Structure formats: C-alpha cells, structure tokens
Amino acid sequence: MDRKVLMLAVILFALAVRFQNFGEIFDSGIYYTGYDSYYHMRLVEVMVKESFRPDYDYYINYPFGLKITWPPLFDYILAFPGMLFGFHSSEIFAVFLPVILGVLSVVLICLTALQIVNNQTFALISAFIYAAAPVAVWKTVLGQADHHALVIFLFLLSAYLLLKDGVWKILAGLPMLFMALAWLGSPIYGALLAFSALVHFDRKALRLVAASYLIPAISFVLYPPVGISFFGLAAFLFVGSVVKGYEDRFRNATIYYIALSLATVLIIYFIPLPHFEFVKGGINYIFGANIYLPTISEARSLQIFEIISASGYIYFIFALISVLFFRNRFVLSMFFLSFILALMQLRFTEVLVVPSALLSAYLVSLVLERLEYPVFEKADEEEKSRRRKRKDRKVKQKNAEVDWKDHVVVAAFLVILAVPCLVVAVAPFELTEDWKEALEWMRTSPEEQNYLNPYEKPEYSVMSWWDYGNWILYVSKKAVVSNNFQAGAVDAAKFFTAKSEDEAIKIAKKRGVRYVVTADEITMKDANNTKFPAIMRIAGYNVDLMPEGEILNFFNHTVLYRLHMENAENLTHFRLVKEFGDVKIFEVVGS
C-alpha cells in the first residue's frame, strides 16, 4: 500500500482525535481549552486592539498588579492574523493553531524515525503512536492556545535537525532560538538534547552541535539568563567533544565528564554567585521547590502511574521493553532523561512521549516481524538484486503473501493497541456550562472596567480560587485577585479558609474585592474531587498530616463553607447575587 496514503490516514487520525471538543469551543461564542490559553488571549486582545504588548497588568494580583516577564513569541504568533484582519481572526486562529502544530509534530516524529532507522513502516508506526499518545493530544487539542504546542514542535524540529548530517546540525539552533523566545524554561529542553547528543555523537559531529547552541545564546540580548544557559550548554558540548577524543585511552571519559558537569552545577546551586541566581531558580523550578507547584496538577512529582497513563499505558510498557533491543543512544538517552524530568514534574511527560513513541514503535515492529509481516525488510535495488541472485524463494513467497488484507489486519492491531490511549486522551472540557453562564453574566451585568488598559488600575476586583482567574479576566473582562500564575493565591487561600467573617472582610478590603465566585469543586462537597486541600496548603496548613475527617471538619468552619454551602445567609458582609448550578457569585456589601 502507498506509504503516502498511510501517512495521510495517520494525519487524518491525528486531526480527528484533536477535534474532540469542537462543540464545547464553538458554543454561543468562542471558548478555549485549559486555563493559560485565556491569559494569552487577554494579551493578544490588547495587542490587536491597542497595538502594544503590556509588560505589566493591574488586572491580575489586584490591586498590586503583576509584571509580565515571559517571552512574547507565542503571543505575537497568535496576534498576527488579528493585526491584519481584526481580533476575531486571532480568536479563530488561536483555536486551530495547536492542532496544526500537533499534526506537524506527528509528521516530524515520522521524519525523525526515518532519520534514525530509515524504514518507512517503522516511521509510520511511530507517527501513529505519537498521534494517539494522551499527553500529545492534550497539549495540541483544539483550543489549547498555550505555548506548549509550539515548544514541543520546536523541540522536535531541533531533534530532527540534530540527527541529520553536516550543516543541518548547526541549523538546529534556529528552532531552539525560537523556543527561547517562547518559553523561559527552554534551556531545560535544550539541556535534554545536549546530553543526548553528547552520548550519541562522535567528536566531529558534537562540535557542530555545540555550534548550533550559539544561535539560541543570542537570546541573551532579551533574556540574559536564557542566553547564558544556552551559551553554557554550547561550552559543555564543545568541551565534551574534546573529551570524546580521549575515549580510546579512558573508556568512561564521557561518563566522568557528565558527572563533573553535574557536580559543577550543584556547586553553583549551593554556593550561589550573584550573576548565577537563575541556576538555583531553574533547579528549584524543576524540583517544584515552592508552595505553589505541588498544588498544580501538572507540577506534581513522582506520579509514576499518571506518567504511564499520559504516555499511553501499553506504549509506555513497550518502550521500557524496547530499551533492551534499541541501539540508538540519542533516543535512549532522551528517554531516560525525560523520564527523570517527568518524575520531578508530571508536566515534562510532554517530552517523554517523544522517545517513548519511537521505542514502542520499534517493539511493535519487532512483533510484526515475528508475525511474518515484513517491517525491516530492505527495499533498495541492491538488496532486491542480491535476493534475485540468491533466488531466495522463501523471501519471495513471504513478500507475495503480504497483500491488502495483511495491511488491514496490522492497522486493526495498531488501533486495538491505541484504544486505551484514546480513552485517556478524551479529556473533559474544563469550562462547564455553569461556568460559561456565570462568566457571561459577570461580563454583562456588573459595571464594566477599562479592560483593554492593563496599566490603569480598575475600581474593584473579583475574588476566586486561582484556577478560575484567567477565565474571569478574559471572558468576564474583570480584574482578579488571583489567577493561574498563583500571584495573589496566598490571600485567596486565607480568604476562603478564614474562620471568621472579620478575617475574610479584612482581606477583601485589602484586595478591593466586590464580587466573590465559588464552585463546588473548591469545597468538600465531593471529597474525591476537591481543590480544598490545595487551598489549605497554600494558606499555610500541613494537610499531609491531616486525615480526611479533620479536613472536612476544618472546612465546615470556614468562610468558604458559609458562602457556598449556606449561601451567605449567616454572613453580614456578603450576599448571594446569582447561582449557576455548581457556580455561585456573591457581592461584598456594607464593608
């Protein structure tokens, strides 16, 4: 069967899986998937309608505001159509861009697999597995207008170019530069590629890779810590290429060099130098060493079962088994290193799934070979000629037996293996109908704010848990105390866990709160699906040492309970304004 037709089928499959939430997104308006997408669109709306990208925003962390420090590339990409044709075109473009990047990533996996093994069937299986991997779907599903889809695409493009010969390796620095202009954490993925390259390439190739890292180092002009990090990785690779020259005399020279490099980083961490504080910050970020990260679902550590689930149950197990047979050190290094990263923070499973797809595809290919479906059989003319000369009737008979029915059986086999992945990949749309109605009511009913001017402090704010801050800001066009960057989260946590109305109203006055929004999932209404322990943790309580009954008893004496469960009937300074199913809106009165 024509490989181009099969690749088209894989692309259509990838598209279908990523269009799973079409109805929820185009529902009496345009909504997005996730949470951070909404703040990106807030910036894009200002960029298109006011012609500038703000570097400060008084509409978050109200009334103090927050500095916008992350790189702007992704926002400019989303804003570009709007600058030409109006903001509505950016709204539409933002919905479809992650799907486009996801499909391009599937194609890149196919090309990378070809670069590694040079076998079209293996490459197609790799692309199919990656297309079905749950975490790859979540990050590139329709409406997921966040930077992750772009970062993964650029990471894959960098890996693909690094694996090519000659000057292509140097060009790998270009997507890394774009990655640096889209995400402050880009040196993490740059380091992942650098360590994999050090283990895999010979001395000459490694010097070309080192040269490629000088390109993203240019980002120093805008973001010094990022640029210095990439320059450090370039130096690490160049010295590594020198070390490679001594491997004949010192067998484990590269291993010792890696150990020495890691020890140097640890020294910088524990004996911080003024100009290298970002090293400590980066390591703390990877290890989740602050009070906020453990309360973020994707930032949790040691979530082995969720890592397996997000990678694809069967495929992850296949990848582990394939480690015993696969011989490409670049892929093997990437697999082990990204697995360590994923153990540190669940979010890094997005990069683990790349080598996992290649490794699992290799084992699937070996299984198919055992079942007499020719995967690794060479098809070049020289091999065909050699077989004709040898008159290998057995091979000819095997080739003759492979017809369209065999292809159908193999396709069905791959789909069956993908079913567990697809079940997990279908995720619920976070923005429920109750939330949509509540947000739309807040947008039209309370008095408007000058939403498009982030430099002008508005008159009041909305208190909610930080998970919903970006929704309220973008959809309702209202300033918020706390949003998805966790700024203001401590005050929000202390407000909801306050044991007296006086405590809560003091925080409300400090933060200029006029409205409070609550939802079932931040209460203990369903102990198996609640954010309340995370709220307690950020408020300063050691939840890990408290049994569920004690947490429930604590909740029953909080302002949150008296608001959401009792509808503020026994409170003086708060009154229930509107109720939309699981979501309730209260107004601060008489303060």
The pLDDT tens digits of the residues spanning 492-513 come to 999 999 999 999 999 999 999 9
For residue range 79-98, what is the model confidence (pLDDT) as tens digits? Answer: 999 999 999 999 999 999 99
Please tell me the distance from the alpha carbon of residue 32 to that of residue 427, in angstroms, as a whole number: 14
How much is the pLDDT for 530? 87
The share of the chain scoring above pLDDT 90, in percent, equals 51
For residue range 435-471, what is the model confidence (pLDDT) as tens digits? Answer: 999 999 998 877 888 999 999 999 999 999 999 999 9
| Most confident of the ranges 63-72, 151-160, 246-255, 259-268 | 151-160
How much is the pLDDT for 573? 92
For residue range 388-433, what is the model confidence (pLDDT) as tens digits? Answer: 554 454 444 444 455 666 667 777 777 888 888 888 888 878 888 9
**Does residue 561 have a pLDDT over 70?**
yes
* Single-letter code of the amino acid located at 570: N
CB atoms within 10 A of CB 165: 9
Instruction: Evaluate the CA torsion angle 434, 438, 443, 445 in order and state its sign.
Output: positive
Cβ atoms of 144 and 150 closer than 8 Å? no
For residue range 273-315, what is the model confidence (pLDDT) as tens digits? Answer: 666 676 767 776 666 655 555 656 666 777 788 888 888 888 8
For residue range 216-252, what is the model confidence (pLDDT) as tens digits? Answer: 999 989 988 889 889 989 999 998 888 887 776 777 7
Please tell me the distance from the alpha carbon of residue 94 to that of residue 81, in angstroms, as a whole number: 10
Residues listed for the chain: 591
How much is the pLDDT for 225? 87
Cβ atoms of 288 and 299 closer than 8 Å? yes
* Single-letter code of the amino acid located at 432: T
How much is the pLDDT for 401? 53
Please tell me the distance from the alpha carbon of residue 512 to that of residue 588, in angstroms, as a whole number: 10
Query: Can you give the C-alpha Rg of the chain in angstroms?
Result: 27
The share of the chain scoring above pLDDT 70, in percent, equals 88
Please tell me the distance from the alpha carbon of residue 244 to that of residue 240, in angstroms, as a whole number: 6
Q: Mean pLDDT across the stretch 65-74?
A: 92
